[in-house]
Chains A and B, each alone.
Chain A
Amino acid sequence: MSRTTVPVTITVDGTRYTDEVEPRTLLVHYLREQVGKVGTVVGCDTSNCGACTVHLDGRSVKSCNVLAVQADGSEITTVEGLEKDGVLHPVQQAFHDCHGLQCGYCTPGMIMQSIDLLNENPDPSEEEIRSGLEGNLCRCTGYHNIVKAVQQAAGGAR
Protein backbone atom coordinates (compact mmCIF):
# COMPACT_ATOMS: atom_id res chain seq x y z
CA MET A 1 0.00 0.00 0.00
CA SER A 2 1.73 3.18 -1.08
CA ARG A 3 0.69 6.34 0.64
CA THR A 4 1.64 9.90 0.01
CA THR A 5 3.25 12.16 2.48
CA VAL A 6 1.91 15.61 3.17
CA PRO A 7 3.86 18.84 3.63
CA VAL A 8 3.88 20.56 7.00
CA THR A 9 5.41 23.80 8.16
CA ILE A 10 6.05 23.82 11.88
CA THR A 11 8.08 26.26 13.94
CA VAL A 12 10.07 24.37 16.55
CA ASP A 13 11.95 26.29 19.24
CA GLY A 14 11.96 29.39 17.07
CA THR A 15 13.12 27.78 13.82
CA ARG A 16 10.71 27.20 10.94
CA TYR A 17 10.80 23.73 9.37
CA THR A 18 9.05 22.58 6.22
CA ASP A 19 8.95 18.80 5.93
CA GLU A 20 7.08 15.94 4.36
CA VAL A 21 5.41 13.64 6.88
CA GLU A 22 3.18 10.62 6.71
CA PRO A 23 -0.24 11.55 8.13
CA ARG A 24 0.16 8.88 10.80
CA THR A 25 3.39 10.41 12.11
CA LEU A 26 3.03 11.37 15.76
CA LEU A 27 4.30 14.81 16.69
CA VAL A 28 6.81 13.33 19.15
CA HIS A 29 8.34 11.17 16.44
CA TYR A 30 8.46 14.12 14.05
CA LEU A 31 10.24 16.21 16.70
CA ARG A 32 12.76 13.51 17.60
CA GLU A 33 13.42 11.85 14.28
CA GLN A 34 12.94 14.57 11.68
CA VAL A 35 13.83 17.72 13.60
CA GLY A 36 16.28 16.05 15.99
CA LYS A 37 14.76 17.39 19.20
CA VAL A 38 15.61 14.32 21.25
CA GLY A 39 15.18 16.25 24.50
CA THR A 40 11.50 15.37 24.20
CA VAL A 41 11.14 11.71 25.10
CA VAL A 42 8.65 8.93 24.54
CA GLY A 43 7.68 7.48 27.88
CA CYS A 44 4.64 5.27 28.13
CA ASP A 45 3.49 5.62 24.52
CA THR A 46 -0.09 5.39 25.79
CA SER A 47 -0.67 9.11 26.52
CA ASN A 48 -0.59 8.49 30.26
CA CYS A 49 2.81 9.60 31.48
CA GLY A 50 3.33 13.08 30.06
CA ALA A 51 7.08 12.64 29.45
CA CYS A 52 6.54 13.81 25.85
CA THR A 53 4.86 17.08 26.88
CA VAL A 54 5.66 20.08 24.66
CA HIS A 55 3.90 23.40 24.10
CA LEU A 56 1.76 23.72 20.99
CA ASP A 57 0.88 27.38 20.35
CA GLY A 58 1.64 28.10 23.97
CA ARG A 59 -0.33 25.30 25.63
CA SER A 60 0.97 21.99 26.94
CA VAL A 61 0.12 18.85 24.98
CA LYS A 62 1.24 15.25 25.03
CA SER A 63 3.13 15.06 21.76
CA CYS A 64 2.59 11.29 21.49
CA ASN A 65 -1.11 12.09 21.26
CA VAL A 66 -0.99 14.68 18.49
CA LEU A 67 -0.34 14.01 14.81
CA ALA A 68 2.38 16.08 13.18
CA VAL A 69 -0.16 17.11 10.54
CA GLN A 70 -2.39 18.54 13.27
CA ALA A 71 0.49 20.83 14.23
CA ASP A 72 0.90 22.18 10.70
CA GLY A 73 1.21 25.95 10.92
CA SER A 74 1.80 25.87 14.66
CA GLU A 75 4.59 26.85 16.98
CA ILE A 76 6.11 24.16 19.15
CA THR A 77 8.36 24.71 22.14
CA THR A 78 10.31 21.75 23.45
CA VAL A 79 12.49 21.51 26.52
CA GLU A 80 15.43 22.25 24.21
CA GLY A 81 14.02 25.67 23.41
CA LEU A 82 13.91 26.98 26.98
CA GLU A 83 17.49 27.94 27.70
CA LYS A 84 18.47 31.36 26.35
CA ASP A 85 22.13 32.29 25.75
CA GLY A 86 23.39 29.69 28.16
CA VAL A 87 20.97 30.70 30.91
CA LEU A 88 18.50 28.07 32.04
CA HIS A 89 14.80 28.88 32.16
CA PRO A 90 13.81 29.62 35.79
CA VAL A 91 11.86 26.35 35.94
CA GLN A 92 14.85 24.38 34.64
CA GLN A 93 17.06 26.13 37.21
CA ALA A 94 14.59 25.35 39.97
CA PHE A 95 14.51 21.63 39.05
CA HIS A 96 18.32 21.71 39.17
CA ASP A 97 18.46 23.56 42.50
CA CYS A 98 15.81 21.43 44.20
CA HIS A 99 16.99 18.16 42.70
CA GLY A 100 13.56 17.77 41.12
CA LEU A 101 14.58 14.58 39.38
CA GLN A 102 15.99 11.17 40.06
CA CYS A 103 16.42 9.15 36.86
CA GLY A 104 15.45 12.22 34.84
CA TYR A 105 13.24 10.52 32.30
CA CYS A 106 10.07 12.40 33.20
CA THR A 107 11.93 15.70 33.56
CA PRO A 108 11.39 17.20 30.08
CA GLY A 109 7.65 16.69 30.42
CA MET A 110 7.57 17.79 34.05
CA ILE A 111 9.35 21.02 33.18
CA MET A 112 7.13 21.77 30.19
CA GLN A 113 3.96 21.10 32.19
CA SER A 114 5.25 23.11 35.15
CA ILE A 115 5.81 26.10 32.86
CA ASP A 116 2.28 25.77 31.50
CA LEU A 117 0.95 25.53 35.04
CA LEU A 118 2.80 28.67 36.11
CA ASN A 119 1.69 30.54 32.99
CA GLU A 120 -1.91 29.80 34.01
CA ASN A 121 -1.44 30.29 37.72
CA PRO A 122 1.73 32.17 38.73
CA ASP A 123 1.16 31.59 42.44
CA PRO A 124 -0.12 28.03 42.87
CA SER A 125 -0.72 26.28 46.16
CA GLU A 126 0.91 22.91 46.73
CA GLU A 127 -2.39 21.23 45.95
CA GLU A 128 -2.73 23.20 42.72
CA ILE A 129 0.79 22.16 41.71
CA ARG A 130 0.02 18.51 42.39
CA SER A 131 -3.23 18.58 40.44
CA GLY A 132 -1.64 20.65 37.66
CA LEU A 133 0.97 17.92 37.26
CA GLU A 134 -1.47 15.03 37.46
CA GLY A 135 -0.89 14.14 33.83
CA ASN A 136 2.83 13.64 34.43
CA LEU A 137 4.09 10.49 36.07
CA CYS A 138 7.46 10.11 37.79
CA ARG A 139 8.19 6.41 38.08
CA CYS A 140 10.93 7.13 40.65
CA THR A 141 8.10 8.75 42.65
CA GLY A 142 10.24 11.85 43.10
CA TYR A 143 7.23 14.12 43.33
CA HIS A 144 8.22 15.84 46.55
CA ASN A 145 11.19 17.67 45.07
CA ILE A 146 9.37 18.29 41.82
CA VAL A 147 6.69 20.15 43.75
CA LYS A 148 9.39 22.06 45.65
CA ALA A 149 11.01 23.03 42.35
CA VAL A 150 7.74 24.44 41.04
CA GLN A 151 7.27 26.35 44.28
CA GLN A 152 10.77 27.80 43.98
CA ALA A 153 10.19 28.73 40.35
CA ALA A 154 6.98 30.47 41.37
CA GLY A 155 9.20 32.64 43.50
CA GLY A 156 7.76 31.64 46.82
CA ALA A 157 9.53 29.88 49.64
CA ARG A 158 6.24 28.69 51.07
Chain B
Amino acid sequence: MIPAQFEYAAPTTVEEAVRLLAEAGDEAKILAGGQSLLPVLRMRLNAPEMVIDLGRIEALRGVRDDGDAIVVGAMTTHADVHADPLVREHAALVTEAVSHLADPQVRHRGTFGGALAHADPAGDLGAPALALGATFTMVGPHGSRTVEGEDFFEDLFTTALAEDEILTEIRIPKHTGWGAHYEKFVRVAHQWPIVAVAAAVRAEGGTIAEARVGLTNMGSVPLRARAVEDALVGKPATAEAVAEAAALAADGTQPPSDLNGDADYRRHLATVLTRRAVLAAAGA
Protein backbone atom coordinates (compact mmCIF):
# COMPACT_ATOMS: atom_id res chain seq x y z
CA MET B 1 0.00 0.00 0.00
CA ILE B 2 1.02 3.58 -0.49
CA PRO B 3 -0.13 6.53 1.59
CA ALA B 4 -3.10 8.66 0.62
CA GLN B 5 -2.11 11.91 -1.06
CA PHE B 6 -0.85 14.76 1.07
CA GLU B 7 0.80 18.12 0.74
CA TYR B 8 4.43 18.18 1.87
CA ALA B 9 6.53 20.86 3.49
CA ALA B 10 10.13 20.64 4.61
CA PRO B 11 10.89 23.72 6.71
CA THR B 12 14.48 24.49 7.66
CA THR B 13 13.79 26.26 10.95
CA VAL B 14 11.66 25.46 13.99
CA GLU B 15 9.88 28.82 13.63
CA GLU B 16 8.84 28.00 10.09
CA ALA B 17 7.69 24.54 11.13
CA VAL B 18 5.59 25.99 13.96
CA ARG B 19 4.03 28.52 11.58
CA LEU B 20 3.19 25.82 9.02
CA LEU B 21 1.71 23.66 11.76
CA ALA B 22 -0.42 26.52 13.06
CA GLU B 23 -1.72 27.21 9.55
CA ALA B 24 -2.57 23.59 8.81
CA GLY B 25 -4.08 22.88 12.22
CA ASP B 26 -5.23 19.33 12.88
CA GLU B 27 -4.98 18.48 9.17
CA ALA B 28 -1.21 18.17 9.53
CA LYS B 29 1.11 15.47 10.83
CA ILE B 30 4.69 16.04 11.85
CA LEU B 31 7.20 13.72 10.16
CA ALA B 32 10.37 13.10 12.18
CA GLY B 33 12.24 9.96 11.07
CA GLY B 34 9.06 8.38 9.77
CA GLN B 35 9.74 4.89 11.04
CA SER B 36 6.42 4.76 12.89
CA LEU B 37 4.47 7.34 10.88
CA LEU B 38 5.10 5.99 7.39
CA PRO B 39 3.74 2.50 8.18
CA VAL B 40 0.66 4.19 9.66
CA LEU B 41 0.19 6.28 6.51
CA ARG B 42 0.80 3.30 4.26
CA MET B 43 -1.81 1.23 6.05
CA ARG B 44 -4.10 4.29 5.76
CA LEU B 45 -4.68 4.33 9.49
CA ASN B 46 -4.16 8.06 9.16
CA ALA B 47 -4.48 10.32 6.13
CA PRO B 48 -3.30 13.83 6.96
CA GLU B 49 -3.81 16.65 4.45
CA MET B 50 -0.29 17.84 5.07
CA VAL B 51 2.95 16.29 6.24
CA ILE B 52 5.51 18.64 7.78
CA ASP B 53 8.94 17.05 7.60
CA LEU B 54 11.40 18.19 10.29
CA GLY B 55 14.28 16.40 8.56
CA ARG B 56 15.77 19.59 7.12
CA ILE B 57 15.99 21.43 10.46
CA GLU B 58 19.66 21.10 11.37
CA ALA B 59 19.15 22.87 14.72
CA LEU B 60 17.15 19.87 15.97
CA ARG B 61 20.02 17.43 15.50
CA GLY B 62 22.82 16.55 17.83
CA VAL B 63 23.69 16.22 21.50
CA ARG B 64 25.18 18.98 23.62
CA ASP B 65 26.60 19.35 27.09
CA ASP B 66 24.55 21.66 29.30
CA GLY B 67 26.29 21.62 32.66
CA ASP B 68 24.48 19.14 34.87
CA ALA B 69 22.60 17.65 31.94
CA ILE B 70 22.96 16.62 28.34
CA VAL B 71 20.50 17.87 25.77
CA VAL B 72 19.44 15.65 22.88
CA GLY B 73 17.95 17.36 19.82
CA ALA B 74 14.63 15.78 18.95
CA MET B 75 15.73 14.92 15.39
CA THR B 76 18.92 13.11 16.42
CA THR B 77 18.74 9.61 14.97
CA HIS B 78 18.87 6.57 17.20
CA ALA B 79 22.14 5.58 15.53
CA ASP B 80 23.66 8.98 16.33
CA VAL B 81 22.39 8.85 19.92
CA HIS B 82 23.89 5.39 20.26
CA ALA B 83 27.28 6.53 18.96
CA ASP B 84 27.35 9.77 20.95
CA PRO B 85 30.14 9.92 23.56
CA LEU B 86 28.28 12.41 25.78
CA VAL B 87 25.27 10.10 25.98
CA ARG B 88 27.51 7.13 26.69
CA GLU B 89 29.36 8.95 29.46
CA HIS B 90 26.43 10.65 31.17
CA ALA B 91 23.34 8.65 30.24
CA ALA B 92 24.57 5.14 29.54
CA LEU B 93 21.06 3.81 30.14
CA VAL B 94 19.96 5.59 26.96
CA THR B 95 22.88 4.16 24.99
CA GLU B 96 21.92 0.71 26.24
CA ALA B 97 18.23 1.03 25.44
CA VAL B 98 18.81 2.51 21.98
CA SER B 99 21.01 -0.42 21.05
CA HIS B 100 17.98 -2.70 21.52
CA LEU B 101 15.54 -0.52 19.60
CA ALA B 102 14.10 -2.08 16.41
CA ASP B 103 16.87 -2.90 13.90
CA PRO B 104 19.86 -1.11 12.34
CA GLN B 105 17.97 0.29 9.35
CA VAL B 106 15.28 1.75 11.59
CA ARG B 107 17.93 3.19 13.92
CA HIS B 108 19.53 5.00 10.97
CA ARG B 109 16.29 6.86 10.21
CA GLY B 110 14.23 6.90 13.39
CA THR B 111 14.73 9.80 15.77
CA PHE B 112 14.94 10.16 19.53
CA GLY B 113 12.24 12.83 19.70
CA GLY B 114 10.03 11.17 17.12
CA ALA B 115 9.93 7.92 19.06
CA LEU B 116 9.20 9.71 22.34
CA ALA B 117 6.49 11.90 20.80
CA HIS B 118 4.92 8.80 19.21
CA ALA B 119 4.58 7.49 22.79
CA ASP B 120 4.07 3.85 21.95
CA PRO B 121 3.81 2.19 25.38
CA ALA B 122 6.03 -0.60 24.02
CA GLY B 123 8.60 1.90 22.74
CA ASP B 124 12.08 1.47 24.17
CA LEU B 125 12.92 5.08 25.01
CA GLY B 126 10.18 6.18 27.40
CA ALA B 127 11.28 4.08 30.37
CA PRO B 128 14.97 5.11 30.29
CA ALA B 129 14.04 8.76 29.72
CA LEU B 130 11.64 8.65 32.65
CA ALA B 131 14.07 6.76 34.87
CA LEU B 132 16.78 9.36 34.31
CA GLY B 133 14.40 12.26 35.00
CA ALA B 134 14.44 13.63 31.46
CA THR B 135 12.47 16.78 30.70
CA PHE B 136 10.82 17.57 27.40
CA THR B 137 10.91 20.96 25.67
CA MET B 138 8.29 21.84 23.10
CA VAL B 139 7.80 24.91 20.99
CA GLY B 140 4.49 26.34 19.78
CA PRO B 141 3.14 29.65 18.50
CA HIS B 142 3.28 31.10 22.02
CA GLY B 143 6.85 30.11 22.78
CA SER B 144 8.47 27.16 24.45
CA ARG B 145 7.68 25.20 27.59
CA THR B 146 9.28 22.26 29.35
CA VAL B 147 7.54 19.40 31.16
CA GLU B 148 8.70 16.52 33.32
CA GLY B 149 8.60 12.98 31.96
CA GLU B 150 5.68 11.93 34.11
CA ASP B 151 3.65 14.84 32.72
CA PHE B 152 4.81 14.31 29.14
CA PHE B 153 3.42 10.80 28.76
CA GLU B 154 -0.35 11.05 29.17
CA ASP B 155 -1.79 7.90 27.66
CA LEU B 156 -1.39 5.42 24.80
CA PHE B 157 0.22 7.34 21.92
CA THR B 158 -0.70 10.57 23.71
CA THR B 159 1.69 13.15 25.14
CA ALA B 160 1.50 16.65 26.57
CA LEU B 161 2.33 18.02 23.11
CA ALA B 162 -0.51 20.25 21.93
CA GLU B 163 -1.59 20.06 18.29
CA ASP B 164 0.33 23.21 17.49
CA GLU B 165 3.54 22.24 19.32
CA ILE B 166 6.73 20.50 18.22
CA LEU B 167 9.04 18.57 20.53
CA THR B 168 12.45 20.17 20.11
CA GLU B 169 14.77 18.75 22.74
CA ILE B 170 15.07 16.31 25.61
CA ARG B 171 17.20 17.27 28.59
CA ILE B 172 18.66 14.36 30.53
CA PRO B 173 20.28 15.01 33.91
CA LYS B 174 23.79 13.57 34.00
CA HIS B 175 24.18 10.20 35.66
CA THR B 176 27.91 10.02 35.20
CA GLY B 177 29.45 6.84 36.53
CA TRP B 178 26.14 5.09 37.04
CA GLY B 179 25.88 1.50 35.83
CA ALA B 180 23.06 0.91 33.38
CA HIS B 181 21.19 -1.95 31.79
CA TYR B 182 18.10 -2.34 29.61
CA GLU B 183 16.58 -5.78 29.90
CA LYS B 184 14.19 -6.36 27.02
CA PHE B 185 12.01 -9.44 26.67
CA VAL B 186 10.90 -10.14 23.11
CA ARG B 187 9.34 -13.11 21.40
CA VAL B 188 11.10 -12.62 18.05
CA ALA B 189 13.95 -10.44 16.79
CA HIS B 190 13.61 -6.69 16.19
CA GLN B 191 10.19 -6.41 17.78
CA TRP B 192 8.65 -4.34 20.53
CA PRO B 193 9.20 -5.69 24.04
CA ILE B 194 6.51 -7.68 25.78
CA VAL B 195 8.01 -6.05 28.88
CA ALA B 196 11.33 -4.29 29.32
CA VAL B 197 13.07 -2.78 32.32
CA ALA B 198 15.53 0.12 32.31
CA ALA B 199 17.78 0.29 35.35
CA ALA B 200 20.51 2.72 36.37
CA VAL B 201 22.43 2.14 39.57
CA ARG B 202 25.03 4.13 41.47
CA ALA B 203 26.97 1.65 43.51
CA GLU B 204 29.49 2.40 46.25
CA GLY B 205 31.72 -0.55 46.94
CA GLY B 206 29.13 -3.27 46.46
CA THR B 207 26.31 -1.28 48.05
CA ILE B 208 23.54 0.35 46.02
CA ALA B 209 23.57 4.04 46.87
CA GLU B 210 20.90 5.12 44.39
CA ALA B 211 18.80 3.40 41.74
CA ARG B 212 16.44 4.43 38.96
CA VAL B 213 14.10 1.89 37.40
CA GLY B 214 11.75 2.42 34.46
CA LEU B 215 9.23 -0.03 33.04
CA THR B 216 8.26 -0.45 29.38
CA ASN B 217 4.86 -1.82 28.34
CA MET B 218 3.57 -2.24 31.87
CA GLY B 219 0.70 0.19 31.30
CA SER B 220 -0.49 2.81 28.84
CA VAL B 221 2.58 4.95 29.57
CA PRO B 222 6.15 4.24 30.66
CA LEU B 223 6.42 3.95 34.44
CA ARG B 224 8.93 4.57 37.22
CA ALA B 225 9.16 1.68 39.68
CA ARG B 226 9.68 3.97 42.66
CA ALA B 227 8.99 1.29 45.25
CA VAL B 228 11.86 -0.73 43.82
CA GLU B 229 14.14 2.32 43.71
CA ASP B 230 13.44 3.10 47.36
CA ALA B 231 13.87 -0.52 48.44
CA LEU B 232 17.25 -0.78 46.73
CA VAL B 233 18.89 2.12 48.57
CA GLY B 234 21.56 0.89 50.95
CA LYS B 235 21.16 -2.75 49.90
CA PRO B 236 24.10 -4.92 48.86
CA ALA B 237 24.22 -5.66 45.13
CA THR B 238 23.51 -9.34 45.68
CA ALA B 239 20.97 -11.57 43.95
CA GLU B 240 18.96 -12.04 47.16
CA ALA B 241 18.74 -8.37 48.15
CA VAL B 242 17.98 -7.23 44.60
CA ALA B 243 15.34 -9.93 44.10
CA GLU B 244 13.58 -8.78 47.26
CA ALA B 245 13.38 -5.22 45.98
CA ALA B 246 12.53 -6.31 42.43
CA ALA B 247 9.51 -8.22 43.72
CA LEU B 248 7.86 -4.79 44.10
CA ALA B 249 8.29 -3.92 40.41
CA ALA B 250 4.72 -4.61 39.32
CA ASP B 251 3.07 -2.95 42.32
CA GLY B 252 0.36 -0.57 41.25
CA THR B 253 0.80 -1.29 37.53
CA GLN B 254 -2.00 -2.12 35.11
CA PRO B 255 -0.25 -3.92 32.26
CA PRO B 256 -2.13 -4.87 29.10
CA SER B 257 -3.27 -8.37 28.17
CA ASP B 258 -2.71 -9.34 24.56
CA LEU B 259 -1.56 -12.20 22.35
CA ASN B 260 1.96 -11.93 23.74
CA GLY B 261 0.90 -12.42 27.32
CA ASP B 262 -1.75 -11.56 29.84
CA ALA B 263 -1.42 -8.97 32.57
CA ASP B 264 -0.40 -11.48 35.26
CA TYR B 265 2.37 -12.79 33.05
CA ARG B 266 3.63 -9.27 32.49
CA ARG B 267 3.59 -8.58 36.24
CA HIS B 268 5.71 -11.66 36.76
CA LEU B 269 8.03 -10.69 33.92
CA ALA B 270 8.48 -7.22 35.39
CA THR B 271 9.84 -8.63 38.64
CA VAL B 272 12.21 -11.05 36.88
CA LEU B 273 13.48 -8.48 34.38
CA THR B 274 13.91 -5.87 37.11
CA ARG B 275 16.10 -8.24 39.11
CA ARG B 276 18.21 -8.97 36.04
CA ALA B 277 18.42 -5.34 34.96
CA VAL B 278 19.39 -4.03 38.40
CA LEU B 279 22.00 -6.73 38.95
CA ALA B 280 23.53 -6.07 35.54
CA ALA B 281 23.48 -2.30 36.12
CA ALA B 282 25.17 -2.81 39.50
CA GLY B 283 27.84 -4.90 37.81
CA ALA B 284 26.94 -7.88 39.95
**Residues of A in contact with B (beta carbons under 8 Å apart):** 1, 3, 6, 22-26, 29, 45-48, 50, 53, 56, 59-62, 64-67, 69-70, 72, 113, 116-117, 131-132, 134-136
- In the complex, what residue of chain B is closest to A25 when comparing beta carbons? B2
Q: Is the CB of A69 within 8 A of B8?
A: yes
Give the residues from 1 to 22 in chain B that come closer than 8 angstroms, CB to CB, to chain A.
1-8, 10
Cβ-neighbour of B109 out of A24, A45, A50, A61 (below 8 A): A61
Residue pair B7, A47 in contact (C-beta under 8 Å):
no
Q: Do residues B38 and A66 form an inter-chain contact, with CB atoms below 8 A?
A: yes
Of the candidates B7, B41, B108, which one forms a contact with A61 in the assembled complex, judged by CB atoms under 8 Å apart? Answer: B108
B→A interface (CB under 8 Å): 1-8, 10, 31, 34-35, 38-39, 41-43, 51, 53, 55, 79, 102-106, 108-109, 189-190
Complex contact B79–A47 (CB within 8 A): no
- Say whether, besides A47-B39, A61-B109, A135-B106, A24 and B34 are in contact (CB < 8 Å): no
Instruction: Assess the B2–A29 pair: CB atoms within 8 A.
Output: yes
B105 engages A62 (CB within 8 Å): yes
A23 touches B7 (CB 8 A): yes
Q: A46-B39, A61-B105 are in contact. Are A70 and B2 (CB under 8 A)?
A: no
How many Å from the CB of B208 to the closest CB on chain A?
30
Establish whether residues B105 and A23, one from each chain, have CB atoms under 8 Å apart when the complex forms.
no
Question: Please, which residues of chain A bring their CB within 8 A of the CB of B103?
Answer: 50, 134-136
Q: Which A residues are in CB contact (< 8 Å) with B38?
A: 26, 47, 65-67
Question: Bound complex: CA of A6 vs CA of B53, how far in Å?
Answer: 14
Q: Is the CB of B105 within 8 A of A24?
A: no
Question: Would B8 and A47 count as touching, CB distance under 8 A?
Answer: no
Partner of A3, one of B7, B31, B106: B7
Q: Are B106 and A62 in contact (CB-based, < 8 A)? A: yes
Taking a contact as CB atoms under 8 Å apart, the answer to whether A65 and B104 are in contact is no
- Decide: B105 and A113 in contact? CB cutoff 8 A: yes
In Å, the complex CA distance between A26 and B41 comes to 11
6 smallest CB-CB distances across A and B, nearest first, come from: A135-B103, A23-B8, A134-B189, A59-B108, A24-B3, A134-B190
- Max chain B Cβ within 10 angstroms of own Cβ: one of A48, A65, A69, A135: A65
| Complex alpha-carbon distance, A48 and B53, angstroms | 23
